Structure 1
Amino acid sequence: MYILIDGENIDATLGVNILKRPPRGEERPRWDRVLEFRPFPSRTGNNHATGDGEDHPAKGLFFLNVSQRSANAFIQALLAIGWQPIQLTSPDAERKVVDEGIQRTLEAILKERPGADVVLGTHDVDYLPQIEALLDAGHRVSIMCFREFLALPLAELEDKGLVIHDLELDVQAFNLPLNRTHPVDIDEFDPYPYL
């Protein structure tokens, strides 16, 4: 399984849309939890390692644009918990290097890793063609996001098998609750926090 994170997109969505300011360290996702999260049931029917290579650790690829700033402390923290930071640069400030890097990686997985599970942390529609191609080829694909901010064309891929996981509610990647409103299934509704 490959987990690809669009670091800029997740951070911007958290800051601009949810917090309405730059997130503080304690308000950011716990990336170790994201790396450990299993978005799909085991193909073998259990959640334990089988020794056949089926249930092996996820390969986490965290994409960053480091063209105009240094993120050395964050990069070292990612390495320490098992992520592979992908630090991309370009002299062209308008170039979307993270999007290009993720698109190329998704295309490489499609070509070279048939059947690999793919998890993408983003809200961005720029990956739509690659995600559709992976789904059409039989890959299990999941998006990790804040569901209410996911681009509609991506959300519509649920009919084709895309699995959507909310970073806060499903992955439980945060230590502090975020100030969000979202639909709640009546069977899961707890009125007590509202009293």
Structure 2
Amino acid sequence: MTERTTYLLVDGENIDATLGVSVLGRRPHPEERPRWNKLLHHAETSWQQPVTALFFLAVEDSLPSAFVQALLAMGYKAVPLRGEGKIVDIAIQRTAEALQSREADVMLVSHDKDFVPQMEDLAGTVDRRTAIIGFREFMAADLQEIPGIEFHDLEYDVAAFTSRLPRVRIIDIDEFDPLEFI
């Protein structure tokens, strides 16, 4: 019998676009990007099992070698893709569909509603844990409404950033800290 695994599927393009367009309103500086090693650590410690981390990225003609080498050094499997259309989405959808037949848990790092059918299928499987990681206020409503799926905030739960982001979010009163505002 093999040990259960968590598959961490990272839609790098979506996270980068959401961070730049929706959170910062500009292209993120390198120090403002997520610390991908913290995301991997969060996935490992959240469900206390080994993680296979797949980082999907669209490339044109050349591989972003320094970034890919950094991902590999952290323990990710880089999945550089080239082609027409939403190639990263297609690859993640195909991967999620392939995971349906495995006894494994799945964390998706994206805000994109294009993954709803696959995540519904995965979340609907008995004894499978599923989670979405990202910024809740920018998460597709359809993803948030999938029964049985967990949500992990990339900034607050994962602590993937070295400084606080300029986000406006709904705060549960039990989590309200007036010192954050005064």
TM-score (norm 2): 0.92
Moved over 3 A (4+): 38-42
Alpha-carbon contact 2:111-2:134 (below 8 Å) kept: yes
The one-letter amino acid paired with 2:97 is E
- Structure-1 separation of matches of 2:109 and 2:50: 17
Is 1:71 paired with 2:61?
A: no
Matched residue SS, 1:170: coil
Matched, 1:59 2:52: yes
User: How far off its partner does 1:153 sit?
Assistant: 0.6
2:44, 2:51 within 8 Å by CA — same for their partners in 1?
A: no
Q: 8 Å contact 1:34–1:171 — kept in the other structure?
A: yes
Query: Which stretches in structure 1 are left out of the alignment for 5+ residues?
Result: 43-54
Quick one: which amino acid aligns to residue 183 of structure 1?
I
Q: Deviations over 1:92-128 (max 9, x none)?
A: 3xx11100100010011102x12x1100000001111
1:150 and 2:150 correspond: no
Q: CA RMSD in A?
A: 1.5
Among 101, 105, 111, the alignment partner of 1:117 is 105
Rg larger in structure: 1
Q: Which residue of 2 aligns with 1:173?
A: 160
Q: What's the offset of the Cα at 1:70?
A: 3.6
State, as a whole percentage, how many aligned pairs show the same letter.
Answer: 49
* Among candidates 8, 12, 15, match of residue 20 of structure 2: 15
User: Which residue is 2:77 aligned to?
Assistant: 84
Q: Which runs of 5+ in 2 are unaligned?
A: 1-5
Q: Distance in 1 between matches of 2:69 and 2:123?
A: 33
2:32 maps to 27
Number of aligned pairs?
Answer: 176
- When the two structures are superposed, what TM-score results if normalisation uses the length of structure 1? 0.86
